[in-house]
Amino acid sequence: PGRAHRDADGRLVIGGVPATDLAARFGTPLYVVDEADARARAARILAAFEAAAASVGTTVTVYYAGKAFLSGAIVRWVTEAGLSVDVCTGGELAVALAAGADPARIGFHGNNKSVAEIERAVGAGVGAIIIDSEVEVERVADAAARAGRVQRVRLRVNSGVHASTHEFLATAHEDQKFGVSLDRAVEIGTRIRSHPSLDLLGLHCHIGSQIFDSAGFAESAERLLTAHAELARVAPLPELNLGGGFGIAYTSADDPTPIEEIALGIAEAVASGCRDRGVPVPKLAFEPGRSIIGPAGVTLYTVGTVKPVPLDGGTWRHYVSVDGGMSDNARTALYGADYTVRLAGRVSDEPPALVRVAGKHCESGDIVVDADYLPHDVAPGDLVAVAATGAYCWSLANNYNHVPRPPVVAVRDGEARVIVHGETEADLLARDAGLEASAGLEGT
């Protein structure tokens, strides 16, 4: 997985640290993030978009989408790589600010920001607030006016293009909660411009996640550019933000187009759309999350039970149950996501067995890896690694069945350090107000 390799003893080594050492020191389940890999991905994506933008005579801002996985260390890695930070709640904003991100390089999203969140963002001096609905125009304008500021904003537009992995769907109206409809973008953009406390940077859209090529982005850009051009003819509209969504490989069946090619495809689509409409090519902006942090993460688990289950046709599926599950990786249960699993503590010459990696939670949908192969002798006590869990795993983690969330460890050059502490059972019990007076807990 990622940049991991095996040592002479067949142990998986991540960031120079054997997985068995990590498990012994920090326990399992354990989120492991390869710091050098995450930093390198951030730098590569920024370089790809900068080169693509330059090729059409413009510039670009790349925001790291914090929803994929936000922590103090990660904010520092991506900002040191030259990225800006995209947040979508007051909580994410607080992390980005506490980690020292430059407020002017933070974008603030959300389809239902509270007035308090808007006030915090304005007060902190965030570089842009993404207006997601009509009512938010006045909410943001009023907050900025009260603070005596001019707030830069983008307007999120629903382009009608919905994309995921290999295909995109283009409809007249996308049936979802984000953004304003394309046919009202000019009217609402004009209304934003009528507020002296707002400064309209440009239009924004985000068409989906885990997208493998540039076609959906190009289609969405082409649609947005009509509204963009109409607004740009009235007053300068410096920017166009096309969101995030660049796909990664979760299994060997996934083959995303290299980001350099995707970036060029998008930049060329924007440039030709602008040429056709006789408007200058705007500055571009993107918001990748998964493609930066996803492949850099691995989750380590310890196998507890192995249960062969006969399938029709005389074959078997081995249910390999591990010590975590849908509380540390909800993606398989939520989206039917695919993952890859490998033995992490040893290699084996045994033939492969079809396995389903299940968790320890009390429901049958608690699957981490739906279908992959492990050596036939996989057994209780084996350490296994699930690849590409850096994005939307820790950030979607939960305490179902009162399972504490695991720690996150960053590995680099043979060193490991905790970047997010794990929870303990005591942490969970401490929040339970109904237990506070319980004599039964005394001394625990």
Residue with Cβ nearer ligand LLP (197 or 209): 209
Query: Judging by DSSP bridges, how do beta strands 283-286 and 239-241 pair with one another?
Result: parallel
**Residue 362 appears among annotated catalytic residues:** yes
Tokens representing 415 are 């060193």
Q: Is 423 annotated as a binding residue?
A: no
Q: Which of 88, 205, 274, 362 is catalytic?
A: 362
Helix (H, G, I), strand (E, B) or coil at 437: coil
Q: Is 261 annotated as a binding residue?
A: no
Query: Minimum distance between the CB of residue 286 and ligand LLP, rounded to whole angstroms?
Result: 8
Chain center to CA of 308 = 35
HEC sequence for 314-358: CCEEEEEEECCCCCCCCHHHHHCCCCCEEECCCCCCCCEEEEEEE
Regarding 245 and contact with ligand LLP (CB under 6 A), the answer is: yes
Non-local (6+) Cβ contacts of 73 within 8 A are 35, 99, 410, 419
Q: What span, in angstroms and rounded, lies between the C-alpha atoms of 235 and 26?
A: 57
* Binding status of residue 244 toward ligand LLP by CB under 6 A: yes
Strands 408-412 and 316-322: unpaired
Q: What is the DSSP string of 186-213?
A: HHHHHHHHT-TTEEEEEEE---EEEE-S
Compare residues 65 and 353 and give the one whose CB is closer to ligand LLP. 65
288 in a labelled binding site: yes
345: contact with ligand LLP by CB under 6 A: no
CA–CA distance, 397 with 176 (Å, rounded to integer): 24
When asked if residue 266 is in the footprint of ligand LLP (CB under 6 A), the reply is no
Is residue 84 near ligand LLP by the rule CB under 6 A? Answer: no
- Applying CB under 6 A, among 41, 392, 403, 410 the residue interacting with ligand LLP is 392
Q: Binding to ligand LLP by residue 288, rule CB under 6 A?
A: yes
How near is the Cβ of 408 to ligand LLP at its closest, in Å? Answer: 17
Q: Where are the alpha helices (DSSP H) in 129-201?
A: 134-146, 185-193
Those residues with Cβ within 8 angstroms of residue 151's Cβ, 6 or more apart along the chain or in another chain: 122, 129, 140, 141, 143, 144, 197, 198, 199
Of the candidates 35, 219, 287, 323, which one interacts with ligand LLP according to CB under 6 A? 287
For ligand LLP, what does the binding mask look like between residues 101 and 120, x meaning CB under 6 A? Answer: --------x-----------
Site for ligand LLP in 2-21 (CB under 6 A): none
Is 39 an interacting residue with respect to ligand LLP (CB under 6 A)? Answer: no
Catalytic residues: 362
For the annotated binding site, the residues are 245, 287-290, 331, 335, 363, 392
Question: Which parts of this chain interact with ligand LLP (CB under 6 A)?
Answer: 65, 67-68, 109, 206, 209-210, 243-246, 287-291, 331, 335, 391-392
